[in-house]
Homo-oligomer: A and B are copies of this chain.
Amino acid sequence: MIRVTVWYEAVEERGEFRPEFVPADIPPEFREKMAGFVEQSAANVKKAYPEGLLATLSGHLRKNPDMEVTYTTLFDPEFGLPDDLLDKTDVLIWWGHMAHHAVPDQLAFKVVERVQRGMGFIALHSAHLSKPFRYLLGTSGNLKWREVDFTRVYRMNATHPITQGVPETFELEQEEVYCEPFDIPKPDDLLFTNWYRGGELFRSGATWTRGNGRIFYFQPGHETFPSYHNPIIIKIIENAVRWTAPVQWIEKLESPMIEKSPEELLG
């Protein structure tokens, strides 16, 4: 049984913006713009996902008998990730956008530490700028973006466990456009690249490892487009849950002293 925790920022879905979501040095006019955007978004998200964006994804994952899914949000106690939940998480799925700053560094470092010990981490869509993703990869996660376009997703690797059951290409009528340069470290495996009608392209699926943990980034999932209703997208995320599930845990991260060298031990 894989214990999957789906963490959702939920700001757009709730239409609730708070000043502490952004750093103090964000200029007031930008802050107001964000607040305005968020206020308007709730209705649009509800139209695309009547049951909620990540709640919908959680529902799909729950149909897998090998997955035990917990859904949680930034608005829940302890920012949605109390220790006792994190300690029981095998794979953490992360979706954040407007409130990356609201996640305390201390919590982000706990996630990093748990990934290093073995937990899987799946960063979806705008989580490319989330703290756990950036602290795990060490890059900025920056990219270029545009609101919406027709998207064709190319599978770039036919034999990786995450691409099994996925066709060579598939199309999304509407998705947010993310465009290169995407600032990520060289992936272990590049799994997907997006083609956009407007002329952009983007490495949209990629894997890395950190310590004993496996990481997958996957681009589709804007809150007002129906990607998490798409069976191919769901298939990919299900595959990713199984591939990032812990192979073995490191009990404690430490740099132990070697009391006797291997050759001494032989006597």
Contacts and interface: CB of A to CB of B under 8 A. Distances in A.
Interface of A: 105, 112-113, 116, 118, 129, 135-146, 149, 152, 154-156, 158-159, 164, 168-169, 177, 179-181, 183, 185-186, 188-190, 193, 195-201, 208-212, 214, 247-248, 250, 253-258, 261-264
A201 B208 contact: no
Contact of A199 (B139, B179, B261): B261
Given A159-B248, A164-B247, 6 more contacts: A135-B135, A135-B138, A137-B138, A144-B255, A155-B181, A179-B258
Kindly report how many copies of this chain are found in the complex they form together.
Answer: 4
Contacts of A112: 138
Contacts of A264: 198
Nearest to A109: B105
B195 A200 contact: yes
A195 B185 contact: no
A171 to B, nearest CB: 8
B146 A261 contact: yes
Q: Which 10 A-B pairs have the closest CB atoms?
A: A198-B261, A199-B262, A159-B247, A146-B258, A199-B263, A136-B138, A142-B255, A140-B253, A138-B210, A195-B201
Contacts of A145: 255-258
Contacts of A180: 154, 156, 193
A210 B139 contact: yes
Q: Which of A135, A158, A190 has the most CB of B within 10 A?
A: A158
Contact of A212 (B135, B158, B193): B158
Given A154-B180, A261-B146, A185 B210 contact: yes
Contacts of A146: 257-258, 261
A249 to B, nearest CB: 10
A261 B200 contact: yes
A101 to B, nearest CB: 13
A261 to B, nearest CB: 3
